Structure 1
């Protein structure tokens, strides 16, 4: 079973001390993107990022409209992040460790083509690496690779920028937050989220 994100974007149009309001924006467009979940909130953090805003819980001053979005008791990892914090993220920074998942590439005439990341249950690379190979990429040095005639598996470290490069919906959300912050101030725009597994 996978993990999905829910929540909303809040603004404080009148500044500090005024109530937060739920912006008319749904997080339904955000895909199940574990690298983004890990980087921003520490959830499904296989890539080993130092999370920006994990484990904060729901804000005490959350809007009633936002609180009305919570539908089940199965939600977890409630947290929030202000645009002021996201605006300070250095997108060139690398994760402190290598990814737990082994990255798979198809070898083509134009060069390697990224296929995906092997989770703990990914076994195709073991044919080359050997049955005793550890399924966690983080148990090998960065750059360790296994190769067969048309496949390459490699242990890699992600950067913050890698997350944005592959997630246009997240970039669009950040653009919206930036635009709102220009009108209301960086500390008056925040993303409040929780997860469902």
Structure 2
């Protein structure tokens, strides 16, 4: 059974407000409008969910923010018994993350590469299989495929031009208008 992500980018408006700390958080855009995939490398790197790659999660297990918007709290509550691992991450944390940070351990999945025309290899997928005790970096070929024991970096898990680029673009734009501290992603998962 797979895990899917749900959530909202929230914003606390900073203009036309005398004291922005008193402004309530508001849902800005549903995550499903920006991202519709199931990428366990992203989920693990950001939130510690299905963290097969062994990356130190940036924002795992925080629960819903205490000041979460009413609409987001209601949406999360609508999946009672189904939703789990609620958490959130602010734009300042995303912007300050060390995207070259390596995982704390080798990926639990072996990386499989297929040959490409003209030579070389292209990542074809990742699978749980016995490494035979091989160390990180070890490679072997079987049935015309190359296999590798790898240790990923955050950038490999969440490439800047990858499927999460629209999420980062929206959060960056909102931060440019309202301030970085006034933008966050609230997320949760189902199985």
Q: How far is 1:169 from its partner?
A: 3.0
Give, in angstroms, the shift of residue 52 of structure 1.
Answer: 0.3
From 124, 135, 140, the counterpart of 1:146:
140
- 1:185 and 1:177 map into 2 onto residues whose CA distance is 10
In angstroms, what is the RMSD of aligned CA positions? Answer: 1.8
Q: Which runs of 5+ in 2 are unaligned?
A: 15-19
**Aligned counterpart for 2:150 among listed residues 147, 156, 159:** 156
Aligned residues: 182
Deviation at 1:167, TM superposition (A): 6.5
Equivalent in the alignment of 1:184: 178
Dislocated runs of 4+, deviation >4 Å: none
Is contact 1:35–1:46 with CA below 8 Å preserved after alignment?
Answer: yes
Q: SS at the partner of 2:164? A: helix
1:95 to partner: Cα distance: 1.1
**Structure 1 residue 149 displacement after superposition:** 4.8
Shift of 1:9: 0.7
Return 62-71 or 74-83, whichever deviates more. Answer: 62-71
Does the Cα contact within 8 Å between 1:142 and 1:155 map onto a contact in 2? Answer: yes
More displaced 10-residue stretch of structure 1: 105-114 or 85-94: 105-114
Further displaced range: 78-87 or 88-97: 88-97
CA distance in 2, matches of 1:165, 1:60: 30
Superposition map of 1:120-131 within 5 A: 122=129
Partner of 1:172: 166
Deviation at 1:56, TM superposition (A): 0.4
- Work out whether 1:116 is the aligned partner of 2:116: no
Distance 1:165 1:159, change over 3 A: same
1:99 alignment partner, one of 100, 104, 107: 107
State TM-score, norm by structure 1: 0.85
Q: Which 5+ residue runs of structure 1 have no aligned equivalent?
A: 123-132
Give the deviation of 1:18 after TM superposition.
1.6
